Structure 1
Amino acid sequence: MNSNLRRVVLALTVLIGAYVGIWGYVVPDAFYTSFPGFGLHWIDIDGPFNEHLIRDVGSLYIALGAGSLVAIFTRTAMPGRVMGVVWFVFGVLHFGYHVLHPEGTTLDVVGSIVSLGVSALVGVVLMLPLEPHADRAGTSPSSAPGRA
Structure 2
Amino acid sequence: MDMNNSYRRTVLALTVAVGLYVGLWAQFFPHGFYTSFPGFGLSWINLDGANNEHLIRDVGSLYLALTAISIAGIASRTVAIGRVAGLGWTVFGVLHFGYHISHMVGTSTDAAGTVLSLGISAILGILLLFPASKSTSIREHQQ
Q: Does 1:52 align with 2:51?
A: no
Structure 2 unpaired stretches of 5+: none
Match of 2:20 in 1: 18
Q: Secondary structure at the match of 1:48?
A: coil
Contact 1:9–1:126 (CA<8 Å) still a contact in 2? yes
Match of 2:44 in 1: 42
**CA apart distance, 1:4:** 0.5
Structure 1: 4+ residue segments shifted above 6 A: none
| Greater relative CO, 1 or 2 (CA 8 Å, sep 6+) | 2
117, 124, 127: which is aligned to 2:126? 124
Match of 1:90 in 2: 92
How many matched pairs?
140
Q: Secondary structure at the match of 1:122?
A: helix
Aligned mates of 1:144, 1:105 — CA distance in 2: 52
What amino acid is the match of 2:64? I
The alignment's TM-score, normalised by the length of structure 1, stands at: 0.89
Distance 1:97 1:27, change over 3 A: same
Contact 1:5–1:130 (CA<8 Å) still a contact in 2? no
What amino acid is the match of 1:41? S
Match of 2:138 in 1: 139
Name the % identity.
55
What amino acid is the match of 2:46? D
What amino acid is the match of 2:6? N
What amino acid is the match of 1:44? N
Q: CA RMSD of the aligned region, Å?
A: 1.8
**CA apart distance, 1:61:** 0.5
Q: Secondary structure at the match of 2:78?
A: coil
The alignment's TM-score, normalised by the length of structure 2, stands at: 0.92
Match of 1:105 in 2: 107
